[in-house]
Amino acid sequence: MLPFPVRKDNASQTVLLSFADKTEPMAFNYYATGAYLLPRFNTGLVIAASKMKRGYIMDIVDLDTKAQAVEAGAHPRDQKALDGKMEELAKGLQEKVIRLRAPEDLYDIEGLCRSSRFVIARIWSRNEKSEADQLGYVVSAERLHNIKTKKGFTYGGKDDPVLLAFAQGDWPAPGEITSPWAAAPMVAGDCRGSHNLHILPMPINSQTSFWSGPILSAVTLSCNIHTGRIGAISDQFALGTPWDEVRRQASQLAIQFRNAHGIKQPATLHEDELEYQEGWKERRARLEGRFTLQPPLTFGTNGHGNGQGSGGRASTPAAAGRGRPQEID
């Protein structure tokens, strides 16, 4: 939910709505660490006379309650203990959150937001005292493996994030907010929610085919804050715009990356993040029983493993002054 600002003049408020498929909330950290943090994406941070010049305040949420449970003492292989601690941590819909300031805490913000665990869930403008003022950015920062099912807290998907953000005035313009996607960054998700791949900024109602995404769309709405009515709607990734070139580049990168790596990492995610992974769990459990503990492999003078000569006898060093020293034949 994003409450409209209260003001008598200028009833029009531009709202940017963005939604992604086959990816996770962390992908939207590219939005937040772009125009709200770095002048390369938003010159208004340097030259604007609005509240923007003060920077912003960011609420960053820790989404990985499983990791929190382990850090709180639950054994990672004790599912019952994990479920109990995760349920305790999620009681009352509470969230583990830290509030940081941009640009003062730039390194801390970037450090946290480089991984899937931490997501910038809310951004506030700052008043004259540099305190949180107007909420202008909200992301659906939840993860499906934090939701309890009949099987306990099981991983269930990549969450398909949604964003609501104000634009113009004290906030970045729509083109500034979307500009980080021009670099075609790689995000987690894609086919079966189990890969890393370059995201495609697509017009609304578009088809997707190659590996099912991940895809991203964004529209702006001109809203009347007095009546609540929505006026003009604009597709921010429309056809016939420079985003056509971004899509072409992202497609080339995605095809090359998929062909180069196949099932191997970094093309696929760590097994804790794999979606629909019951088949892999079964295969992994079956193979685990076939592993054995053995001494390290060494070689004798004739090249037989573990220092064994022909006939299974241990090899002996060469006599001093005769023949060659012990080596691999």
**Is 5 inside a domain boundary?**
no
49 domain residue, yes or no? yes
How many structural domains are present in the chain?
A: 2
- As a whole number of angstroms, the distance between CA 47 and CA 52 comes to 9
Looking at the fold, whether 214 and 137 belong to one and the same domain comes out as yes
Q: Is residue 1 part of a domain?
A: no
Tell me if 149 sits within 8 A of 156, measured CB to CB.
Answer: yes
At 302, the pLDDT band (50, 70, 90 cuts) reads: low
Q: Please give the span between the terminal C-alpha atoms of the chain, in angstroms, as a whole number.
A: 73
For residues 249 and 242, give the distance between their C-alpha atoms in angstroms, rounded to a whole number.
Answer: 11
Whether 4 is covered by a domain: the verdict is no
Residue range 238-271, pLDDT digits in tens: 999 999 999 999 999 999 998 999 989 988 888 7
Tokens 């492999």 correspond to: 297
What's the chain's Rg over C-alpha atoms? 27
Same domain, 151 and 224: yes
Mean confidence (pLDDT) of the chain: 86
The rounded distance, in Å, linking the Cα atoms of 253 and 139 is 27
Q: Which parts of 6-130 fold into alpha helices (H)?
A: 29-32, 44-47, 65-71, 79-89, 106-112
Q: DSSP letter for 62, please.
A: E
Cα 65 to the center of its chain, rounded Å: 15
Contact 37, 101 (CB under 8 A): no
Regarding whether 284 and 305 lie in a shared domain, the answer is no
Give the CA count within 13 Å in the CB-facing half-sphere of 309.
8
CA distance 44 to 51: 10
Q: What pLDDT is attached to residue 279?
A: 85
CA distances for 248 relative to 28, 42, 48, 242, 244, angstroms: 21, 24, 34, 10, 6
On the question of pLDDT at 104 being above 90, the answer is yes
Q: Are residues 76 and 23 both part of a single domain?
A: yes
Answer whether 0.85 is exceeded by the pTM: no
Q: Is the peptide bond prior to 3 cis by the omega test (within 30 degrees of 0)?
A: no
Q: For residue 105, is it within any domain?
A: yes
Q: What is the mean predicted confidence (pLDDT) over 310-316?
A: 49
Closest CA to 41 of 185, 224, 189: 185
Within this chain, do residues 158 and 282 fall inside the same structural domain, yes or no?
yes
Q: Are residues 31 and 125 in the same domain?
A: yes
DSSP assignment letter at 296 = P
175 and 304 inside one domain: no
Please report whether residue 3 resides in a domain: no
Q: Are residues 122 and 20 in the same domain?
A: yes
Q: How far apart are CA 154 and CA 86, in angstroms?
A: 11
pLDDT band at 193 (very low <50, low <70, confident <90, very high): confident
Same domain, 305 and 167: no
The closest of 322, 271, 276 to 301, measured between CA atoms, is 322
Q: Let me know if residue 6 belongs to a domain.
A: no
DSSP code at position 285: H
Domain assignment of residue 314, given as a range: 294-329
pLDDT of residue 304: 67
Do 299 and 156 lie in one domain? The reply is: no
- 177 and 199: one domain? yes
pLDDT band for position 22 (cuts 50, 70, 90): confident
Tell whether 229 and 310 lie within a shared domain: no
Using the Cα atoms of residue 249, residue 252, residue 254 and residue 260 in order, give the sign of their dihedral. Answer: negative
pLDDT at 150 over 80: no
33 falls within a domain: yes
- CA dihedral (277, 278, 282, 285) positive or negative: positive
Q: Inform me whether the pLDDT recorded for 90 exceeds 90.
A: no
CB 222 within 8 A of CB 14: yes
